[in-house]
Amino acid sequence: MDTKLGNVNILAIETSCDETCASVVRDGREVLSNIVASQIDLHKIYGGVVPEIASRKHIQTISIIIEEAMDEANMKFADLDAIAVTCGPGLVGALLVGVSAAKGLSYGLDLPLIGVNHIEGHICANYIEYKDLEPPFLSLVVSGGHSHIIMVEDYGVYRLIGQTRDDAAGEAFDKVARVLGLGYPGGPIIDKISAKGDPYWVEYPHGSIEGHPYDFSFSGLKTAVINHLHTMEQRGEAFKVEDVAASFQRAVVDVLAERTILAVKKLQVDKITLAGGVSANSKLRHEFKKVCNKEGLKLYYPPLNLCTDNAAMIGSAAYYNYINDKVADLTLNAYPNLTIV
């Protein structure tokens, strides 16, 4: 890395799903502003994100959010060194709003344009919280659309170790919460009510894939919970929603912890970072703390506001692209299925 570079100010934009976000980040680690406009209230009544509504709301909000981010950072456009934007993965219409705004700014201000992978962004949220954190480390990325175990070899150098074969962890939380009538998004509600439930009330399946010890499968777990609920209802058996939630949550956390620890031992690294919306889960953090203490591993996870979608994490990832000359041009597009490796 070129240590001569200093005071690189990047305006980052994130619109991959249902949050309109802008942030100014200096040198990849210092957040000067971080504005997040959540659309959750708009989508809640439908029980999940409606792509068309998300895109329209991004269009209405994006300019205001960018202005707010610049104001809060006490910056003028002339103080910026680059414009960064999430270019995938995500909802194509939603991504296009951010990409178009970033291209307009890059062209108008004659600044480099940096396209950032959203999953890379989630991982980089840890660089903001831990100023000394450097690769290599193993990262567990658990979000609404992804469940990946990734080896971070270096800045921007990733190796996929394991991934979900079907539902993502966050998706499983959201689907089970819906069946339990708890609303959207399900993760935070299940996390909260599980504290009042018995995690050992029932043993739900752990879903393993033969020959692939680091992969996950959450679809069977979700179906097991749904079938269990139907059976109890048909039999007229009483149950506590809190017990179902706590038992489900334990199954997810156990699987994530077991397989990540297996991978860390195999790869012989001593640092684990958690990333993505599900890394906000209190049981997940607790379990990882316990096992990392026992195994002598260092554990890192972002503060709650950097676990779910935000543009600060995009600004952090963008900095490492910028100093390695990984810049885009105006042909940059939205890539809904972009992968990290």
Ligand X SMILES: Nc1ncnc2c1ncn2[C@@H]1O[C@H](COP(=O)(O)OP(=O)(O)OP(=O)(O)O)[C@@H](O)[C@H]1O
Q: In what order do the strands lie in the sheet with 82-88?
A: 30-38, 19-26, 9-14, 82-88, 113-117
Q: Interface with ligand X includes 115 (CB under 6 A)?
A: no
Gap between the Cα atoms of 41 and 25, Å rounded: 28
Q: Interface with ligand X includes 143 (CB under 6 A)?
A: yes
Give the torsion sign (CA, 339, 161, 17, 207). Answer: positive
Total binding residues toward ligand X, as defined by CB under 6 A: 25
- Which CB, 14 or 243, lies closer to ligand X? 14
Interface residues for Mg ion in 168-197 (CB under 5 A)? none
Which of Mg ion, ligand X, none does residue 146 bind (CB under 5 to 8 Å by kind)? Answer: ligand X
Beta bridge partners of 25: 10, 31
- Which CB, 171 or 309, lies closer to Mg ion? 309
For the record, the structure tokens of 136 come out as: 């290599």
In Å, how far are 3, 33, 101, 242, 283 from 84, measured between CA atoms? 21, 14, 10, 42, 34
Q: Interface with Mg ion includes 18 (CB under 5 A)?
A: no
Q: How far is the CB of 95 from ligand X (least distance, A)?
A: 10
For the record, the structure tokens of 8 come out as: 């690189």
Interface residues for Mg ion in 47-66 (CB under 5 A)? none
Interface residues for ligand X in 291-310 (CB under 6 A)? 308-309
The single-letter code of the amino acid at 107 is Y
- Stated as kind and residue range, the H or E segment containing 126 is helix 118-129
143, 194, 247, 321: which one binds Mg ion (CB under 5 A): 143
For the record, the structure tokens of 278 come out as: 């599900």
Residues near ligand X, by CB under 6 A: 16-17, 89-90, 118, 122, 143-146, 170, 173-174, 185-188, 191, 276-278, 280-281, 308-309
Residues near Mg ion, by CB under 5 A: 143, 309
